[in-house]
Structure formats: structure tokens, C-alpha cells
Structure 1
Amino acid sequence: MSRPVLVIGAGPVGLIMAAELARYGVPVRVIDKLRARTTQSRALAIWPRTLELLDAAGCGSAFAANGLHAKAVSIHVGNSTLARIPLGTIASSFNYLLMIPQSETERFLEDHLRIFGVLVEREIELTDFVNRDDGVSCTLLHAGGRLETLDAGWLIGCDGAHSFVRSRLRLEFEGETLPIGFVLADVHVAGLAIPPDEPAIFWHPDGAVMFFPISRERYRIIADLGSVPLHVPDLAEMQAIVDRRGPGGITLSDPVWLSDFGVNERKVRDYRKGRVFLAGDAAHIHSPAGGQGMNMGMQDAFNLAWKLALGERQEARPSLLESYSIERSGVAQQVLSDSGRMTRVVLLKSHLAQKVRNLVVKQIFSIPVIRRAIANRLSGIMIHYSDSPLNVGAAPRLRGPTPGERLILRGCSEQNDSPRFAIAAKDSAEARAMITRHSSLLMAKMCLPPDENGIWLVRPDGYVAATAKSGNWVPIDMALNGITLKASTRMMN
């Protein structure tokens, strides 16, 4: 493992990727062409599933302690509330939406990365690379013009929607650009009669205006432009939009960021080509509806890091890495579909269609089970890898998650320095023998099962790889044998 993994881009996705690899003992360098991390709020929302993964990585408490905990999301027409979705029903210990500026997210992640002795190398740009069978030869341009040639084991492009890595790989960014623009403002807001920790959406025949709390009395405001061309608004324009579309009585002041943006719905088909991977916006972009973008990218990083680490530690077959694109591409496709549908519902222009939408939303969201289902779906805890090639078995009539679904482990401690699978089952001689036989992959301590009549094999990222009835260890053994690199092969390498 002497050659480093090179991560391009020090946004939230690249920082998580580098930190997870470093936590697992994999040499890593992370570079960024910018002189300093962003000072803008940018992506604000961190959903519960991402918080669970941050917590498992050892840095969740910093986020939870410093962000704003949104307990509900609401939809309004003028002074009338159509729907309110409580988030306290989310089946997670993080049953809220964390609102925190991206500038703070990056600061916390840089601090976390520093714990492992890794610093972001700034004002360095990847200008070329050669993707070989045994590594990636990278050309780096330093500030001042110095060129460096780096022989990296792997290259990971976390370099955003305009990814150089993706372009250099000639991977098509398939999808479409929506024919509508948006404006945004981060401003001080007075007179909004909504709980200060609650994102609120106001629908109006002209379009929508959305309020996302950042801190006390400061909000991100987003509005669609209709047929007006993209342009950076001023405070007066944002005030006029809020006056017309909002509930009235709201005053905006002290803007710190005014901008515009268009919406693309695009993704690559394959997140890997040879020894080069894509993650985050480099692999997929979509509407900001639902606040999923940064979360998707960070979860890409969590998914890939443990697989790459096991391969670099010569503890898993190279084929393990093939599951990354399959799993994450499927999730991205679902999020693109969901966010696109939400965007089109918000942007309905026909007055009749708007009236029908408002009536349907008010009726549907009055049903508690519907509200809970939507909150859980937005939270990310329902994300699953049901089509993963890593899944084995599906024991019938067990109370608990099936292969590909998330399982929060209980009764066992995490091993933060190595990516280990866990067994959740009753203690037995067979269980201890399984742990001994697969000691390179399994945690030494068993976890509590959700059903004492079953066995669960849980991946390092908290998703079930295999299930079986108690006493039937064959599916568990099969799953581990399909991943592990035989000792004789490790010795040859």
C-alpha cells in the first residue's frame, strides 16, 4: 500500500472519501485547485442516514452539536398550511434534518481528516492522467507552475458537476437541463410566522418561494424564475418575490449571498473506469428538491471507501469494487426520479393543475402513515441495495431487514481502524467458529440480532449482506467466501 489513492476535490465528498480511507490505514492525498475552502453556505441539509454514517466514522457529534435541528417541513399557500411533515417520527436516533452551512461542514471534515495526519493540498490541479492496469499516472500543476508526476494506486474524481476527471474519461453525462431557472438569497428574515427551525415552502400561482433556516433569523430563500432568463437578483427583487408569493409581513435584509442557478438531471452510467472512480456531483446531479445532493455524494464516499480499503489491505477480492457503481447508480437513479417529480409538482403552471395539486396534497398529508413514510424516505434510511451482487440469502419469516437493507447494530463496539463486517446473532460455538474462520473480515464481538431466531451479516457501512435462520451458517459463509481474498493469494501479492 505504498502508492497513495489520489482524491480530486476537497468538498464534502472528497473530504469524507479521504478521511475514511485514512481511517482505514490507506495512504491518501486529497488536492484542490482552490486556495481555500468555501466561505458560502451552499449545500445546507444533512439528512439522518448521512448523520448515522458520520457518527460511525467518528465525527457525527461535531455536526449534531453545531447545526440547527429542523423538526418538521411544511407547505403553505399564503397563510394557509397545506401540509406539515414531522421529522420526529423518522426511525433513527437522528430524527431531524440538520441545517448547517457547507462552509461549516467542510471545516468539521477538514478537522476530522487532520486527526489521521492528512491535510488538504491546495492550489494544486490535476491536468492529465493515464489510466493503467496497475495504477494511474497523474500530472499535477502546483501554484507557481511546478509540475509533479504522481504514480497513484487509484484516482477518485470528487471534482463536481464540471468534473475534469469525468471529461477526461469521456464518460457521457446523460440527462437533461430543465427549462427553468432559480434565484437564491442568504438573508436576514423578519416577520416569518413559522417556527424558526422549520423549512417552509410557499406555493403561489406565479411559482414557489422556499425558506430554509440557516441560523437564528437567517434563511436561504429559493424561488423559481418562470420564463425570466437566469440572472443574479438584488435584494429588492427577492423582497418583491417574497411579498407576492409569501404569507405577507416579511422583511428581508443584510444579504450575504445572492445567486442564480439552473437545474440539471444527469448521471453517468458507470462510476468506474479501470482504476478511476467518480463520486458525488461528478457522477450525478439533480434538482435540489429534497435536499439530497450533498448527502448522495457523501454516501457515495462511505460506500466506496471501505471496499477500496479492503482491497488495498489485500483482505478482499478485486471484484468487490464492482459493486460500488451498481449500488450507487441505482440509488442515484431513484433520487433523480424522486427529486424530478417533486420539482415538477412545485413548478406546475396551470391554475387548474395547481388547485388539484393543493387539494390532493392537503388530503394525502393529513394521513399520519403517509407523513411518516415520506419523512423516512427523505431521511435516507430507506435507501437499500436490493440488487447488490454482495447480497446472499433472505431467510423467510425473520423480523428484521433483508439483504441490502440498513441495520443499526446494537451491543457491539465499532472498530474504527479497519473496515469489518459484523455478525448479529445469538452467541454460540458456531458463531465463534465463523468469526475465527473469517477473522480478517469480521469484528471479534458479536452484535445483538433484531430477531433471536436469525443471523445477520452486516457490512462496514451498516447494510445487510446476508441473512439466515439460526443454526444455518451456510449463507453467511458463502457471503464471506465471496468477498475474502484467500490467504495464499495474499501471500503471493
Structure 2
Amino acid sequence: MSNPVLVVGAGPVGLTMAAELARYRVPVRLIDRMPARTDQSRALAVWSRTLELLGVAGCADAFVAAGLHAKAVGIHAGGKILARVTFDGIASPFNYLLMIPQSETERLLEDHFRSLGGQVERGTELTGFVDGGHSVSCTLKHAGGESETVEAAWLIGCDGAHSTVRRMLGLQFEGDTLPTGFIVADVHVTGLTMPPDELAIFWHPEGAVMFFPVMPGRYRIIADIGSAALHVPDLKEVQAIVDRRGPGGVILSDPVWLSDFGVNERTVRDYRAGRVFLAGDAAHVHSPAGGQGMNMGMQDAFNLAWKLALVIRQEACPALLDSYGIERRAVARQILAQSGRMTRIVLLASPLAQRLRGFVVRDLFKIPEVRRAVANRLSGIMIAYPDSPLNMGCATGLRGAWPGQRFDADFTIGAGRLPRFTLVATDDAEAQAMIARHSALLEPEIRQPLDGKGIWLVRPDGYVAATARSGNWPVIEKALMRIAV
């Protein structure tokens, strides 16, 4: 374990990756070519599943205290509300959307990384690397111009949509760019009559304008600008759009951040090449609809870190790492399709299509089950790995999660400084024998199941690896032997 893992990019994804590796006592270096972390709000949304994983990592409390707890989202058109989805029914202890500027997210993650003994090396750029099979020889350029060669055990590119690591690997970023541009403004707002902890989307014949609360009196405003050239708007332009498309009587002032963006829907086919991995926007980008982007990247990090730690600690076979790309690529495809559909619904231009959209949304969202399903899906708690190569067994006839699904428990799974699976079963001699045989992989404490007729093997990231009926220990044994060295 002498050679460190080198993580490139100290945004939310790289910070999460480095902190998780440090939590597992894996030597790690985190570099970023920028001299300081961002001071812009950028990504705002932290959803329930990400907060759950931050809780396991030991830093969710700081996020919860620092952010605004959004309770609902409303869709408005023609002076009426078409639909309102509340988040209090999300099946998670974090049954809200946490709105927090990316600058704060990075500050909190960096504080957490430092508490684990880590330090961000800023002004340090990766200029080249060679994968030698047993290590990766990386060339770094420091702020003063001096070069350094680092022998890294593994290299992880968390360096964003314009990833240097991806470019050096020669991987294609396949996909499309939408023809419609958007403007974004973080501004102070008065005259908005909706609750201050609620998101609002206003549909208008010429386009949409969306309000996302950042903190009391301050909102993120996003509006589409059609085929017009991308440009950074001024406050006057944003105010004019809000006047035309919004609810009326809204006054904007004191802009904190004004910008523009286009929507790319792209992904790589492979998240790994030898001893080099990609995570976050380096591997996938999509529409910001649904606020999934940063959450997706941070969950990439939570997925990979425990697997890499087990392999580096020589407690799991290297083949475990193959599951990272299989699992996360499937999730990225789902989120890309989901966010793309939401974006295209918002951008409908035909008057007939807009009227039909209004009728469908109004009638569909009258159904409580639909509203609840939408909230749970947005929250991330429905993310699952049904096709993971780690899955084994089934939960037919049992009350509990299936292999690949998130294990919903009233006890914490995966906390602490060692990456360990949790055995959820009746505490008997066979269960104790399983713990003894696989002490390098299993937590020593056996957890009691909700359904005593079943056994669940739960991964360090809280997803089920194997399920069996009580007494059918060969299923659990086989699942562990597949992972063990």
C-alpha cells in the first residue's frame, strides 16, 4: 500500500473519492490545477440518497446544517398551478432536497477530507501518465513550474466534462448537444409569493423560467433562450424574461452569478482502462433537469472507493473492480434518459403540444402514487444495480430488498474506517461461523433482519449483494467467495 491512489480534480466528485479512500486508510493524493476551490454556486441540489451516503461517511450533519431544505416543487402555467410534488413522503431520513451552493459543498467536503488527514494539492496539473500494468507513472506540473513523477497505484479522473484523463486515454465522449441554450442567474428576489422552501417551474408559450431557492431571499433562475447564441446575460435581460414568463410582481436585484450553458448528453463506453478510472462528469454529462449531475458523480465515488480499498488492502480479488463500470454505466444511461425526457418536455414549442402537456401533467399528478413515485425517483433512493455481477440469490417470498437494491434499515451500514459487508440474519451458530470464515470481508456484528425467514448480505455502500432464505448459507458463501482473494 506504499504507492498512493492519485485522484485528479478536487470538485465534489474528487473530494468525495479522496475522502472515502482516506476513510478506508488508503494512501491518496488529490490534485487540482486551479489555485483555489470554486467561489460560484454552480451545482445546488443534494438529494436524499447522496445525503444518506454522506451520513455513512460521517459528514452529513454539516451539510444538513448549512443548506436550505426544499420541501416541494410546483409546476405553473397560465397563472395556475398544474402540479405540486412534495418531498416529505420520500422513504429516507432525509426527506427533502438540500439546496446548497457548490462552493459550500466543496468547502465541507474539503474540511471532511482534512479531518481524515488529507490535503488538496492545488495549482498542480496532470500532464501525462503511463499505465505500466502494476502502477501508473504520472507526471505532474506544480504551480512554480517544477515537474514531479509519481508512481500511483491507481489513477482516477474526476476532472470534469473536459477531462484531461479521458482525453489522454483516447476515450470517445459519445452523445449529442441540444440545440437550445440556457441562461442562469443567482440573484436576490422579492415579490415571489410561493413558499421560500419550494422550487417553481413556470411554463410560458415562449419558454420556461425556473426558480430554485438557494437561501432566504436568493434564488437560482434558469431560462431557455432557444437557438440564440450562448451569452452571459445581464440583470436587465433576466428581469425581462421573468416579467414575461413568471408569475408577475417579481423583482430581481444584486446578482451573485450570471452565466449561460448548453446541454450535452454524453457518456463514455468504458469507465476503466487498466489501472485508470473515470468518475463524475469525466464519464457522463446530461441535462441538469432533476438536479442529478453532482449526485451522480458523488455516487460514482461512493461506489468505487470501497471496492478499490478492498482490492488495495488485498482483501478482495481485482475482478471486483469490473463491477464499477457495469453498475454505474447502467445508472448513467437511466439518468441521462430521464433528464433528457424532462428537458424535452419543458422545451416543447408547439402550442398544441404545450396544451397537451398541461392537460397530461395536471391529470397525472392528481394521483398520489404518481407524485410519490416521482419524488422517490428524483431522490435517488430508487437507484439499483439489478444487473450487477456481484448479485446472487433472490428475495421471493421475503420482506426485504432484492439483490442490487438499496437496503432500507433502521441501523447504519458501512460506517467506520474499514470497508466491510454486513450480514443481516438471525444470530445463530451458522451465522457466527460465516463471520469467522470471512472476517476480512464481514462486519463482526450480525444485524437482525426485519423478516427472520431471510438472510441478506449488504455491501459497504448499502446495496444488497445476496439474499437467501434462512438456512440457505451456500448462497451467501458463494457470493463472498466470488469477492474474496
Q: Please list every run of at least 4 consecutive aligned residues from structure 1 whose deviation after the TM superposition is greater than 2 angstroms.
A: 408-415
Name the structure 2 match of 1:440: 440
Taking the aligned partners of 2:416 and 2:408, their CA distance within structure 1 comes to 16
Name the structure 2 match of 1:326: 326
Contact kept? 1:412, 1:445, Cα under 8 Å: no
Taking the aligned partners of 2:413 and 2:268, their CA distance within structure 1 comes to 37
Q: Secondary structure at the match of 1:84?
A: strand
Name the structure 2 match of 1:489: none
Taking the aligned partners of 1:279 and 1:450, their CA distance within structure 2 comes to 35
How far apart are residue 447 of structure 1 and its match? 1.5
How far apart are residue 325 of structure 1 and its match? 0.2
Name the structure 2 match of 1:134: 134
Name the structure 2 match of 1:471: 471
How far apart are residue 415 of structure 1 and its match? 4.5
CA offset digits 1:334-360 (Å, max 9, x no partner):
000000000000000000000000110
User: What is the TM-score when the length of structure 1 is the normalising length?
Assistant: 0.97
Taking the aligned partners of 2:298 and 2:201, their CA distance within structure 1 comes to 26
Distance 1:341 1:415, change over 3 A: closer
Distance 1:411 1:248, change over 3 A: closer
How far apart are residue 413 of structure 1 and its match? 6.8
- Amino acid paired to 1:434: M
Contact kept? 1:44, 1:100, Cα under 8 Å: yes
> Where does the alignment leave 5 or more consecutive residues of structure 2 unmatched?
none
Name the structure 1 match of 2:484: 484
Q: Secondary structure at the match of 1:199?
A: strand
Name the structure 2 match of 1:194: 194
- Amino acid paired to 1:265: E
Taking the aligned partners of 2:227 and 2:48, their CA distance within structure 1 comes to 36
- Amino acid paired to 2:40: Q
Taking the aligned partners of 1:105 and 1:259, their CA distance within structure 2 comes to 20
How far apart are residue 132 of structure 1 and its match? 1.6
Name the structure 1 match of 2:175: 175
Does structure 1 residue 372 correspond to structure 2 residue 377? Answer: no
Name the structure 2 match of 1:449: 449
Contact kept? 2:385, 2:404, Cα under 8 Å: yes
Taking the aligned partners of 2:39 and 2:60, their CA distance within structure 1 comes to 21
Contact kept? 2:113, 2:119, Cα under 8 Å: yes
How far apart are residue 438 of structure 1 and its match? 0.5
Contact kept? 1:21, 1:305, Cα under 8 Å: yes
How far apart are residue 414 of structure 1 and its match? 4.9
Name the structure 2 match of 1:8: 8
Query: Which stretch of structure 1 is more off in the superposition, 448-457 or 239-248?
Result: 448-457
How far apart are residue 451 of structure 1 and its match? 1.4
Contact kept? 1:184, 1:260, Cα under 8 Å: yes
Taking the aligned partners of 2:78 and 2:120, their CA distance within structure 1 comes to 47
Distance 1:237 1:412, change over 3 A: closer
Distance 1:163 1:414, change over 3 A: closer
Name the structure 2 match of 1:30: 30
Name the structure 2 match of 1:316: 316
Contact kept? 1:412, 1:446, Cα under 8 Å: no
Name the structure 2 match of 1:229: 229
Contact kept? 2:56, 2:413, Cα under 8 Å: no
Distance 1:234 1:133, change over 3 A: same
Does structure 1 residue 406 correspond to structure 2 residue 389? Answer: no
How far apart are residue 452 of structure 1 and its match? 1.4
- Amino acid paired to 2:176: E
Taking the aligned partners of 2:355 and 2:56, their CA distance within structure 1 comes to 45
Q: Secondary structure at the match of 1:143?
A: coil
Taking the aligned partners of 1:178 and 1:448, their CA distance within structure 2 comes to 50
Taking the aligned partners of 1:416 and 1:436, their CA distance within structure 2 comes to 20
Distance 1:442 1:185, change over 3 A: same
Question: RMSD across aligned C-alpha pairs, in angstroms?
Answer: 0.8
> Where does the alignment leave 5 or more consecutive residues of structure 1 unmatched?
486-493
Name the structure 2 match of 1:269: 269
Taking the aligned partners of 1:395 and 1:335, their CA distance within structure 2 comes to 26
Sequence identity of aligned pairs in percent?
A: 69
After the TM superposition, which residues 77-476 of structure 1 pair with which residues of structure 2 at under 5 Å, given as runs? 77-411=77-411, 414-476=414-476
- Amino acid paired to 1:231: H
How far apart are residue 395 of structure 1 and its match? 3.3
- Amino acid paired to 1:238: V
Taking the aligned partners of 2:129 and 2:259, their CA distance within structure 1 comes to 34
CA offset digits 1:391-425 (Å, max 9, x no partner):
00103211111000001344467541100000111
Distance 1:395 1:408, change over 3 A: closer
Distance 1:143 1:475, change over 3 A: same
- Amino acid paired to 1:14: G
Contact kept? 2:58, 2:415, Cα under 8 Å: no
Q: Secondary structure at the match of 2:43?
A: coil
Taking the aligned partners of 1:183 and 1:372, their CA distance within structure 2 comes to 30
Taking the aligned partners of 1:179 and 1:356, their CA distance within structure 2 comes to 23
Q: Secondary structure at the match of 2:392?
A: coil
Taking the aligned partners of 1:301 and 1:27, their CA distance within structure 2 comes to 16
Contact kept? 1:242, 1:250, Cα under 8 Å: yes
Contact kept? 1:71, 1:198, Cα under 8 Å: yes
Distance 1:243 1:419, change over 3 A: same
CA offset digits 1:103-158 (Å, max 9, x no partner):
00000000000011111000000000001210100000001210000000000000
- Amino acid paired to 2:348: L
CA offset digits 1:431-476 (Å, max 9, x no partner):
1111111100000001131311100000000000000001111110
Contact kept? 1:409, 1:448, Cα under 8 Å: no
Distance 1:145 1:112, change over 3 A: same
Contact kept? 2:125, 2:142, Cα under 8 Å: yes
Distance 1:412 1:99, change over 3 A: closer
Contact kept? 2:413, 2:422, Cα under 8 Å: no
Contact kept? 1:423, 1:447, Cα under 8 Å: yes
CA offset digits 1:349-398 (Å, max 9, x no partner):
00000000011000000100000000000000000000000000103211
